[in-house]
Structure 1
Amino acid sequence: MKRINILFLLLSFVATAQNNNTTLLSLEEYLGYVKKYHPVIKQAQLITSTNEAKLLKARGAFDPKIEVDYSKKEFKDTEYYKKLNSTFKIPTWYGIELKGNYENNSGQYLNPEGNTPDNGLYNVGVSVSLAKDLFINKRMATLKQAKLYTKQGELEQQLVINDILFEAINTYLNWLQYYQNYTVHKDYYNNASVRLRNVKKNFEAGDKPAIDTLEANINLKSRDLDLEKANIKYIKSTLELSNYLWIGNNIPMELKEGIIPDTDTFSNIDIILKTSVSALFDNQIENHPKLKILELKKRNLEINKRLKINNLLPTIDYQYNFLASKVNNFDAFNTANYKSALQISVPLFLRKSRGDLQLAKIKLQDIDFEIASTRVSLLNKITATEREITSYKKQNEILKNLVNDYMVIVKSEERKFFLGESSIFLINYREVKLIESKLKEIKNEYEYAKTKSKLIKLLGRLHTL
């Protein structure tokens, strides 16, 4: 598959460069490309298109219909019969069907009841279901359900988009986390390198023992190892991020070296994800797409239940048609010439219909339980996530103070060392604790931002970003 390097797209979506070698890719710009070009989001749009096609198909049950039936038989120069029967039908919403018909039959052996005037016989009438299928029937139910499926498809599309955006946001935050980890290890690798040079100079001047140079050298190698581990994690996270970057015609992109995440993302996460609005925490759960989908499914089952109740009624079909041999105007039809029919059918035990109705009622009870369970589950998850956010916020304040305190201790230990009152071992020990605290702070910021995006996903609102 052809791959396009993202370098050629910098003018489209990359923020201002930090320096000549690095360029920022912000979370907003990244999400813009995900929403516009990612194949899964395009695929989600097909859900609505599919249900719209099903709705169009259901409307077809109410399309007017023309039927023509022509048959003829001749044998040994004898015309046995010639029959033409053409009908125009207009189905209506209720169990009523309007009909217009023209018959023209002739022949030596034609059944007498099929005889028509020389110019044929016209009839206009109506077919009515007087019990079963009057107020609801299969085509009415199918159309109602298709309309609900269209609404359901829009909600399902929102859920799919929510899921892919949640994964995309987490991948970006993960990329940012590993970039910051790499930056921390790189900075302290440089510190260790500078410290080793200074210790060597002091040793050569006779101010420090040889063991200090070995200690500084070991520390540098340890920092180098940590830096390499951080680098490979950063590279892997960059490749994972590339999975969500596409351009038109389903062409994947890859990040060019030198493109970095926006380090202000964690501090601006409320603005980016629109989570600073107090209304977000009002637990307006009734508008959640999952609950709306279940409500639509319930309405679908209610239509199905009505259809099953309808099947308990007897079948009583009545037809009435005005007849005329000539049609100059509508007055040609009158009540003196007509054709009518009545059909009645009643199952004796109705066991099949009663069984279907019982199953329909059970399905409705089942969906009620599912709605209640889903509502409680969502509320509990949202409450737990809000508490997580509060906890991560408190942890972040503690970690910031810890980092500041460790920075003071390290600087103090370095001053004492150069005054001959400390050792390189103590400096390294203090610095290790500082690095651990900084990495914990970054991890906590990542978890805080991730939990924010999780909250919006739980509320079903990521698609509105």
Structure 2
Amino acid sequence: MRNTVLILLLLTNIISAQNNATVLTLEEYLGYVKSFHPIVKQANLIISESEAKLMKARGAFDPKLEVDYNRKKFKGTKYYDKLNASFKIPTWFGIELKGNFEENSGYYLNPEASLPEDGLYSAGVSIPIAKGLLTNKRMASLRQSQLYVKQAQADKKLLINNILYNATVTYFNWLKHYNEKIVYENFLNNAKTRFNGIKKSYEAGDKPAIDTLEAKITLINRKLNLEKSKIKFIKSSLELSNFLWLKDNIPVEIEENIIPDTNTIEIIDLVLNTSVIDIEHFKIEEHPKLKSLDFKYKSLNIEKRLKRNNLLPQIDLQYNFLSQTPDIVRSFSTSAYKSGLNINFPLFLRKERADLKLTKLKLQDTHLEILNTKISLNNKIKALDKELNSYVLQSSFSKDIVEDYSKLLKAEERKFFLGESSLFLVNSREAKLIEAKLKAIEIENSLFKTKGNLFNTLAISGI
């Protein structure tokens, strides 16, 4: 069950408004989203996961200690007692350094396993001559993990950017419904004042009864519209609460006295960093999405080199110097050694060729995705820039229309007061003004959303 917490007691920077209301600004709101939202915390886990995978890949180069001990005893006879202990050090180019100690004894010990009484020491190297020399699975995994860390940083930025964008759009809708509610509240007060005045004039015999009926119908319509706007505002407030969290994963629910900042238009560019964007000189290659795809492409290139190397035969050469006295370095000589050669080569290489082909297809797919993403981002940015300019112009026009309708309404009310107009005309002028104000709010909301969309497309979440 969500905990209801008073934002008034929690926000550090508050602005007092009328009727003891508290303004929640866009900057404060996004600050809480970025600091405490669970999805933002999940984005940080991406980095932790990539670092853990990098550690795992580095583990393939860790030295290894191996001990193999076998004993067989039956009816009082020790058949054999064999000990083989080794210490291996993997290196970058597939070469493995190895130190070994063997000690064998027993009545039925295989003659080839016979060793000096104090055991036999060896020091040597294992070298893949073909497959696995210049590149191998552990080398590829480490390089890919290093790229994955960088890719995770780009993906984290995208994830945080998306949640901030969704939160921003929700705030804009909240602000829109609040402004609509204020419009209906103001005109409801006008309707009440007009109804009371006409009612008194009717009682004094100055106005006909039909005027009181028309004024009453207008009053009820204003109440109905206000109730509808209140419901929309309440719903948008609850939607906004989905993005508000505090420390220790405590959810926050917006209280009735919390209202949006009606002056958001003055600070939106500063908050979203859209005031410093140079569309013409924006470096699309620095976009997190393209960076992520570029790291993916480089990772697939590493995988392609590995798959191509797998087409080579597996030829492992081992050479070990033997000694009974390892503390004397000169005791290791070429006259006492153990060597071996292991060759493994599939005749048809169908699996290896198929793996290489699949990797090449993935590379082509990623390359095409990079090209498509770059073109799509460029076109979307240009389209949003033009759309933004259009909404700025529309907003200017709508303000002029609202101002002109306000003048017409005042003039009509003056004529009505002087008895030169009718209530029908006054209501008609007022309805047009309400319509113009709501249209202006809608255009402002579209302007805000376009700025938010531009912010999201450019992935500039430097808030």
Q: Does 1:338 align with 2:337?
A: yes
Q: Which residue in the other structure is 1:218 paired with?
A: 217
The corresponding residue for 1:270 is 269
1:322 aligns with 2:303: no
Give the superposition deviation at 1:284: 2.0
Matches within 5 A, 1:295-374: 295-374=294-373
Tell me by how many angstroms 1:179 deviates.
Answer: 0.4
Matched ranges for 1:30-179 at <5 A:
30-179=29-178
Name the SS for the 1:268 alignment partner: helix
Match of 1:229 in 2: 228
Displaced runs of 4 or more, over 4 A? none
State the Cα distance separating 1:173 from its structure 2 match.
0.8
AA partner of residue 411 (structure 1): K
2:4 matched to which residue of 1?
Answer: 4
- CA distance in structure 2 between the aligned counterparts of 1:346 and 1:189, rounded to whole angstroms: 88
The answer to whether the Cα contact below 8 Å between 1:14 and 1:24 also exists between their aligned partners in 2 is no
Whether the aligned pair in 2 keeps the contact of 1:81 and 1:110 (CA below 8 Å) is yes
Q: Deviations over 1:242-276 (max 9, x none)?
A: 11111222221111111111111123211221111
Q: Work out the CA distance in 2 between the residues paired with 1:347 and 1:20.
A: 83
Asked whether the 8 Å contact 2:184–2:222 carries over to 1, the reply is yes
Cα distance in 2 between the residues matched to 1:330 and 1:20: 91
Question: What TM-score, normalized by structure 1, do the two folds share?
Answer: 0.96
Q: Match of 2:450? A: 451
Amino acid at match of 1:89: K
1:284 matched to 2:312? The reply is no
The residue identity in structure 1 corresponding to 2:203 is E
TM-aligned CA deviation for residue 159 of structure 1: 1.6
Corresponding residue for 2:410? Answer: 411
Per the TM alignment, residue 316 of structure 1 is displaced from its structure 2 partner at its CA by: 1.4
393-402 vs 46-55, greater mean Cα deviation: 46-55
SS at the partner of 2:319? strand
SS at match of 2:198: helix
Assess if the C-alpha contact under 8 Å between 1:181 and 1:230 holds in 2.
yes
3-state SS, counterpart of residue 266 of structure 1: helix
Q: Where do 5+ consecutive residues of structure 1 fail to align? A: none
Whether the 8 Å CA contact 1:119–1:326 is kept in 2: the answer is: no
Contact conserved, 1:89 with 1:100, CA < 8 A, in 2? yes
How large is the RMSD of aligned CA atoms in angstroms?
1.5
Measure the CA separation in 1 of the matches of 2:33 and 2:154: 19
Offset at residue 331 of structure 1 (A) = 2.6
List per-residue Cα deviations over 1:317-347 (Å, max 9, x = no partner): 1111111101224233222221111222333
> Contact conserved, 1:389 with 1:448, CA < 8 A, in 2?
yes
Provide, for residues 158-197 of structure 1, a one-character-per-residue CA deviation record: whole Å limited to 9, x for no partner: 2211111111001111101100100010000001111112
- CA–CA separation in structure 2 for the residues paired with 1:20 and 1:331: 95
Shift of 1:3: 0.4
Aligned-pair identity (%): 56
Moved more, 289-298 or 133-142: 289-298
**Partner amino acid for 1:388?**
E
SS at match of 1:197: helix
Aligned partner letter, 1:6: L
Match of 1:428 in 2: 427
SS at match of 1:34: helix
Alignment gaps of 5+ in structure 2: none
Shift, 1:377, TM fit: 1.4
SS in 1 for 2:346: coil
1:243 maps onto 2:242 in alignment: yes
Give the TM-score, by structure 2 length: 0.97
Distance in 2, Cα, partners of 1:36 & 1:289:
21
Aligned residues of 1:283 and 1:379 also touching (Cα < 8 A): no
Report the secondary structure of 1:276's partner residue. helix
* AA in 2 matched with 1:449: F
Letter in 2 for 1:288: H
